[in-house]
Structure 1
Amino acid sequence: MAQTSTPVTFTVRRYPPELIVPSKPTPRELKPLSDVDDQEGLRFQIPLIHIYQRNPKMGNKNPASVIREALAKVLVFYYPFAGRLREGPSRKLMVDCSSEGVLFIEAEADVTLKQFGVELQPPFPCRDELLYEVPGSGGILDSPLLLIQVTRLLCGGFIVVVRVNHTMCDAFGYVQFMTALSEMANGESTPSTLPVWQRELLCARDPPRVTCTHHEYDQVTDTDGRPMISLDDMEHRSFFFGPTQISAIRRFVPTHLKGCSTFEMLTACLWRSRTIALQPNPEDEMRMMIIVNARRKFNPRIPFGYYGNVFGYPAAISKARDLCNKPLGHALELVMKAKSEVTEEYMRSVADLMVIKGRPNFTAVGSYIVSDVTRTGLLELDFGWGKAVYAGPDHPVAGFYTRYINHKGESGVLIPVWLPGVAMKRFVKELDIMLARDNNDHVIQKQVPAYSKL
């Protein structure tokens, strides 16, 4: 079910970084972000990995050259990406559409996709080689909003890693931009979906008023006293949930919650198993924050083509004691309730809260964030070599659920998990309990007492 890093090393030769500017003149203007876009919790750069196999039909075409040329063309339509963020009064972010360009790196590696292992999934070996962090480019203000590295492989395949400033777009906005890029790479002159800015649609009301409860922004002090865990001590593994695994976990769903989605069920399972693995104080409040796409919650709907951030992340909250000792239904009910809280009014309330409280960060203490990107169309992005064999975000901040087809041809959900090494062993053990089957391939209906000191 899980895969760890494949022991493979390789050398990457990189060409000097380039600044790609729009291929035609674009407006010079100042475009404010929305009050959902510029909250503290989105002020970071997030990398996404796209892996492609060799396609004989493409002959000797260089994917880096194709994507570089398409990038200059697509920036004519998405010209804010070629600008730089500035900060105004009250920490308000805006894009200076200066046409300074986005960073692009062409590279080649002496490795084949087969050497990455049977399953192409995180954690990828030598990830840092696949995305060169150009010195001075990783800031939020006055820094490139996109960095793209295209690495060609010995087998004819290639890997595209894109680092994007999250304040500019969410997963759906990112795929909209990348779809336009892929269309340009395939010879189109205009994107099939024209971009819509209109960030004022998600700006605070006048006067701003917080009308909903937002536990995701609670100010919580860490009184645990435990030392902070270094990222160097963290273990990164991916867990695949195909039809067999999903069916096994559904056996633990109580009758009155059978209508839950697979995402809700897996999130409850992850939340419970992760809490057992971390062994927090029994009275600690544990938060599971769920990214909820709110595009369809608005009336009238957010315009087609809008590529800004349109999501909330409501928090399901439970005492660690209850998560660990109660059945899966306890966590599941809380997850489903939290998701249902996201409405148009909820999103308006978030925007107002940002203005009133100075654009605070989300609560970090006892929190974990998950996001379902299985329906965003990441795998469908095609630059001329066919669909991706893997595509997904790569960041320890959140657990991103991606659509994945394993080497057996099974379609399912891939979930990357970051945990301290000792906790990862407990996490795997807890999942094994839930997925255990007898010799007749029936799920073993038992709950081993977990975290008994509670």
Structure 2
Amino acid sequence: MAPPPSTTLAFNVRRRKPELIAPVRPTPHECKLLSDIDDQESLRFYIPVIQFYRYNPSMIGKDPAAVIRGALAQTLVYYYPFAGRLREGPNRKLSVDCTGEGALYIEANADVALQDFGDILQPPFPCIDKLLYDDPNPKRMLNDPLLFIQVTRLRCGGFILGISVNHVMSDVSGMMQLILGMAEIGRGAVAPSIQPVWERQLLNARDPPRVSLLHREYDQVEEGTITSTPSENTVHRSFSIGPNQVSTLRKLLPNTLGQCSRFEVLAACIWRCRTIALKPHPDEEVRLLCMVNVRSKLSPPLPSGYYGNAVVFPAAITTARKLSQNPLGYAVKLVKQAKERVSGEYVKSVADLMVMKGRPHYPMAGSCVVTDLTRAGFEEVDFGWGKAVYGGLAKAGLGAKLPAASPCVNLVAIKGGIAISICLPAPAMDIFAKELEFHSKSLFISSGL
């Protein structure tokens, strides 16, 4: 199958000098502590988002770069912690020094048109490093901007918006609240319709902390045969799947499982296929980590406008042999059971664990983290030029470098269905593609670099 145009496309991008955009009005200068869910090691990276917009003749005379620049300055009045800088205290506790220094902004021009990217936009995108401004030293994080924005004008009159948000500040729901607020102001609103709420103390550890439940998602495991070592032979591909393929997968499940969500079916299938592709030792433990939004699981629920991290990573765990030799229903059952363990007490126990164990990272080796962003609303973001043609995560892996077996797999919304965005070593990717096709009994359309 020939690769789509977007994977072979090359073009030039001329960037202007980056500048710091401060809030348009004075904001409080204070120090604000992050929650004990926010500042865990697993979230200390930048979330890369990219939005594609068509030319809109009704916006003639308006410059998207100028509109977004102005909207950013006004939005930072309400979300002023994003104009500050991270500081680290005892026990690796993070706080935000609200200095008002600003977010990093850059405008650019590209000698390419939107139609050159092809009919269906999905990761991986060509020349992504030219369209998305990343922190040159993402591991440093302290004292660096918390928000990076690049607006790239296209030859056709459309534009691309690249956004990188420090994950310790917000999960995807919180980030969307920020971006949608900025879009509202870009369209002429005087303030975001949803007022931001900090109140990170609501997700702090108890005093004294007490880990009341088992959290195997934070097991400290030795490096196994499934590694996360960087590789020059890493391949990033997307596999698009529609409602018919999801229905086909559901038919593989026993009736005893009851109602299964789309995420549970796809996550289990991805986990199984990925494990088979990576060929770990049969007795090696493998785990699927589900990113679960807990806003509705807390009592009382978090206030409307809360834009911090409210996610946990319950783990489904088995051996590579059991996962690969059992039917798909076995994996789906494990995923359902993992999600069902999440409760208000579970969230409190995670926060306590972070304080008691030094804010650990989930194990990279043997893990697969599936994140469902299909209902996040990226495509709804409208600065006046209409909804995005594509909106969502820019790449799999989420970090600045794509590791050989990055544990992160993203489900993003695309025209006509869902894209499974994943990166693996090239030989494993070939096996993964064959396993997906085998499971679905129909054709998965794929693209890759």
Aligned in 2, Cα 1:175/1:426: closer, same or farther, shift over 3 Å? same
Q: Is the 8 A contact 1:3 1:237 kept in 2?
A: no
Offset at 1:332?
A: 0.3
Aligned to 1:155: 156
Aligned to 1:364: 364
TM-score where L is the length of structure 2: 0.93
Partners of 2:227 and 2:32 in 1: CA distance: 42
Structural mapping, 1:7-406, within 5 Å: 7-133=8-134, 135=136, 139-224=140-225, 229-393=229-393, 394-397=395-398, 398-405=408-415
Aligned in 2, Cα 1:152/1:141: closer, same or farther, shift over 3 Å? same
Amino acid at match of 1:315: A
Aligned in 2, Cα 1:371/1:47: closer, same or farther, shift over 3 Å? same
Offset at 1:269?
A: 0.5
1:211-263 CA-to-partner distances (Å, cap 9, x unmatched) read: 11111100101144x87642431111111111121111111111112400011
Amino acid at match of 2:246: I
1:397-452 CA-to-partner distances (Å, cap 9, x unmatched) read: 522212221xxxx2x222101111001111111111122259xxxxxxxxxxxxxx
Q: Secondary structure at the match of 2:286?
A: strand
Partners of 2:3 and 2:215 in 1: CA distance: 36
Aligned to 1:419: 424
TM-score where L is the length of structure 1: 0.92
Aligned to 1:432: 437
1:4-25 CA-to-partner distances (Å, cap 9, x unmatched) read: 6521110101111010000000
Partners of 1:359 and 1:134 in 2: CA distance: 23
Offset at 1:132?
A: 3.3
Q: Secondary structure at the match of 1:396?
A: coil
Identity of aligned residues (%): 53
Q: Is the 8 A contact 1:2 1:237 kept in 2?
A: no
Offset at 1:137?
A: 7.2
Amino acid at match of 2:411: Y
Q: Is the 8 A contact 1:45 1:138 kept in 2?
A: no
Q: Is the 8 A contact 1:312 1:347 kept in 2?
A: yes
Offset at 1:3?
A: 6.2
Q: Secondary structure at the match of 1:403?
A: strand
Aligned in 2, Cα 1:318/1:134: closer, same or farther, shift over 3 Å? closer
Q: Is the 8 A contact 1:107 1:149 kept in 2?
A: yes
1:378-406 CA-to-partner distances (Å, cap 9, x unmatched) read: 1101011111111112341522212221x
Amino acid at match of 1:99: G
Q: Is the 8 A contact 1:380 1:388 kept in 2?
A: yes
Partners of 1:2 and 1:360 in 2: CA distance: 43
Unaligned runs of 5+ in 1: 439-454
Q: Secondary structure at the match of 2:239?
A: strand
Aligned in 2, Cα 1:228/1:378: closer, same or farther, shift over 3 Å? closer
Amino acid at match of 2:412: T
Q: How many residues align?
A: 432
Partners of 2:228 and 2:135 in 1: CA distance: 28
Q: Provide the alpha-carbon RMSD of the alignment.
A: 1.7
Amino acid at match of 1:108: N
Query: Which is further off, 64-73 or 129-138?
Result: 129-138
Partners of 1:227 and 1:341 in 2: CA distance: 28
Aligned to 2:404: none
Q: Is the 8 A contact 1:291 1:313 kept in 2?
A: yes
